[in-house]
A and B are shown apart, each in its own frame.
Chain A
């Protein structure tokens, strides 16, 4: 049990991060905190891919004449490249969300969900 945990502890940490992110999005009443929760969730998924692409004792995926063509000696670059795209998507989402929040705080003079709902139902 303990060995299994130590062997894959990074994945457990990623699961904990995801839980924190989803908790933040559901339980926090402040919209900025919800957005931070969303970012934590996304980061957990990026870390999942980055961790999955890693390999113990391997090097950067540029063919080194001394190491030869053995794929076991190089890490898999594809998940990392995917996550570069994923990070771009995440940044765009955060930017759009922040733009909304600026407008929401200008219109409702609050970022608290309860205040905004009260203001909206007026």
Chain B
């Protein structure tokens, strides 16, 4: 038994309250305490990942009750990997000043950091819990915080958030009902225990209904293609800093739940051969790639374009999961990591542009490249990575996905992934052309007006942009040291490869 899994959540939950209380007294204290909490949690996550990679799975029994009766928190390579991404991106977003992120309503900054901490705690909780019902509770904790955070964005965001709340609740209820079927069939809620008890019940209609309900519920939370309708409004009306955290880690956590169901609860062959779940996820992902990319081309608003692009990127992750072979899962996980950095960077750039110039729509971005060279340089790196140009990170995850689909004999997916890179190039080069190729509008004196944002805005953006390059160059290390350990247990149980 090791306390590492709990140590990642505990500082976040504790400082969520400290941040709100301190913020009532002095606004700046809310920010400082959130940064302190995030740093402690990041330290615990880094430590946890190293410990997991050297010692193997760590488990913590909540309240001293041993599983399957008690609730178990598990840190295995997959959850340690996800936890580190969540805390790192979360901390970068917390450092980003709320004044720029909340362009619309700066006076509401006080509870903001507390809510972000609560959102991160919910996300980490989903990742580390080993109990199906506990997962539902954390799912709702992070959903509730994100509804509240989206609604900060103004009157349009209010309606978007209400719609997201409705759909998100249906998703949560479906998941809960699925858990109910599993519980009444097996009598257990612990993931490892359920996985042990399920194989004899695979033919039961109750389990088939549970699979369908859980996958629909998680599909809505993840915004997998036909279930994505809440996403464009919610992400484009939300404040940039919130959109960054939602697009880069929140929906990926739902993708994690899908992989976790595949890895720890159901067996791969059941979802691949007996029920066509994996094929459905793969094809929904492929349809989402095309739909998201085409819709992104049609958008004028920069943030709305990024929101549709998120649907396409979630499609890549869906394709990787749907392939259900080692390379596909590695590609999906690597894409979760890369997308967290790229999309986080792009949304923070959107917030920075809005803060410095007040611009939102792409046609007005002319000549920004010369007015704010550093920030637009970071934007270019992230955009090239979205398109998938080496040596940026985005290339390598697509590379693994294409290799996975060729190995799985699924040529259609390989074609869709490559073709969608072209579509992505269309909508990002459109922006890059406006930003860099067109000369900026000159003022009456004939000089170009510089408006590089202050370091507090610039540093988080540059950290993420440099991260995109570093991840691209070090992808071999990440894959061999971490991701192969993540994927190994899945395929040793399934007996494939």
Contact (Cβ within 8 A) A120 B147? no
Q: Chain A residue with minimal CB distance to B156? A: A120
> Does A75 count as interface, using CB distance less than 8 angstroms?
no
Nearest residue in A to B174 (C-beta to C-beta)?
A45
A42 near B159 with CB under 8 A, answer no
Chain B residues within an 8 Å CB radius of A101: 162
* A contact residues around B14 at 8 Å (CB): none
Q: In the assembly, what is the distance between CA of A108 and CA of B154, in Å?
A: 12
21 contacts between A and B (CB under 8 A): A22-B170, A31-B162, A41-B173, A42-B173, A45-B180, A52-B180, A82-B133, A85-B133, A85-B137, A92-B140, A93-B140, A93-B165, A93-B169, A96-B144, A96-B148, A96-B165, A100-B147, A101-B162, A103-B158, A104-B158, A107-B155
Task: Say whether B177 contacts A48, CB under 8 Å.
Answer: yes
The answer to whether A89 and B159 have CB atoms under 8 Å apart is: no
Residues of A close to B169: CB separation below 8 A = 38, 41-42, 93
Contact with B along A20-48 (1 / 0, CB 8 A): 00100100000100110010011001001
Known: A92-B144, A93-B144, A97-B165. A120 touches B180 (CB 8 A): no
On whether A49 and B180 interact (CB within 8 A), knowing A38-B166, A38-B169, A42-B169, the answer reads yes
- A100: contacting residue among B133, B137, B165, B173, CB under 8 A: B165
6 pairs of A and B residues whose beta carbons are closest in the complex = A100-B162, A107-B155, A89-B140, A52-B184, A45-B173, A45-B177
- The reply on B183 being an interface residue by CB < 8 A is yes
Additional pairs, 20, CB under 8 Å, beyond known A93-B165, A100-B165, A104-B159: A34-B166, A35-B166, A38-B170, A41-B169, A41-B170, A41-B173, A42-B169, A45-B180, A52-B180, A89-B137, A89-B140, A92-B144, A93-B169, A96-B147, A96-B148, A97-B162, A100-B147, A100-B151, A100-B162, A104-B158
Secondary structure of the B contact surface, majority rule:
helix
| A14: min CB distance to chain B, Å | 10
What total of chain A residues lie within 8 Å of the partner, measured CB to CB? 30
For B176, what are the chain A residues with a Cβ–Cβ distance below 8 Å? 45, 86
Instruction: Return chain B residues, CB-CB under 8 Å to A25.
Output: 166, 170
Among B151, B161, B180, max chain A CB count under 10 A is at B180
Closest approach, in angstroms, between the C-beta of A25 and any C-beta of chain B?
Answer: 6
Provide the A97-122 mask, 1 if CB < 8 A to any CB of B, else 0. Answer: 10011011001100000001000100
Category for how many chain B residues contact A: 20 to 34
Query: Within 8 Å CB of A82, what residues of B?
Result: 133
A79 and chain B: residue at smallest CB distance? B183
Say how far A91's CB is from chain B's closest CB, in angstroms.
11
Separation of A38 and B144 alpha carbons in the complex (Å): 15
Cα–Cα, bound, A101→B158 (Å): 9
Bound Cα distance A14, B287 (Å): 34
Interface readout for A61-93 with B: 1 if CB under 8 Å, 0 if not? 000000000000000001100100110010011
Contacting residues, chain B, for A120 (C-beta < 8 A): 155-156, 159
Cross-chain contact B170 with A116 (CB below 8 angstroms)? no
A96 to B151, CA, bound (A): 10
Q: Which residues does chain A contribute within 8 Å of B133, judged by CB atoms?
A: 82, 85
With A and B bound together, what is the CA distance between A38 and B170 in angstroms?
Answer: 7
User: Which residues of chain B are near A22, meaning CB under 8 Å?
Assistant: 170
Contact residues in A for B148 (Cβ distance below 8 Å)? 96
Q: Mark B128-140, 1 if CB is under 8 A from A, else 0.
A: 0000010011001
Minimum CB–CB distance from A122 to chain B (whole Å) comes to 11
In the bound complex, residues from chain A placing their C-beta under 8 Å from that of B165 are 93, 96-97, 100
Give the CA-CA distance A41 to B133 in the complex, in Å: 18
Contacts of A52 in B (CB 8 A): 180, 183-184
In the complex the two chains form, what is the Cα distance from A104 to B157 in whole Å?
10
In whole angstroms, what is the CA distance A102 to B409 when docked? 54
Contact digits for B247-285, partner A, Cβ 8 Å, 1 yes 0 no: 000000000000000000000000000000000000000
Give Cα A96–Cα B172 distance, bound, in whole angstroms. Answer: 15
Annotate B154-195 by CB proximity to A: 1 below 8 A, 0 otherwise: 011011011001100110110011001001100000000000
How far, in Å, is A104 (CB) from chain B's closest CB?
Answer: 6
Collect the chain B residues with CB atoms within 8 Å of residue A104's CB: 158-159, 162
Most buried by A among B148, B156, B159, B184: B159
For the complex, give the distance between the alpha carbons of A89 and B147 in Å: 14
Complex-state Cα separation, A82 to B135, whole angstroms: 12
Taking the closest CB of chain A, its distance from the CB of B143, in whole angstroms, is: 8
Q: Among B133, B137, B161, B162, which residue has the most Cβ atoms of chain A within 10 A? A: B162
A48 with B180, Cβ < 8 A, contacts A38-B166, A42-B173 known: yes
Query: How far apart are the CA atoms of A41 and B167 in the complex, in Å?
Result: 12
Complex-state Cα separation, A35 to B159, whole angstroms: 13
List residues of chain A with CB within 8 A of the CB of B180: 45, 48-49, 52, 79
In Å, the complex CA distance between A31 and B148 comes to 17
For the complex, what is the distance from the CA of A59 to the CA of B162, rounded to whole Å?
42
Contacts of B140 in A (CB 8 A): 89, 92-93
Distance to closest chain B CB from A103 (angstroms): 5
On chain B, the residues within 8 Å of A107 by CB distance are 155, 158
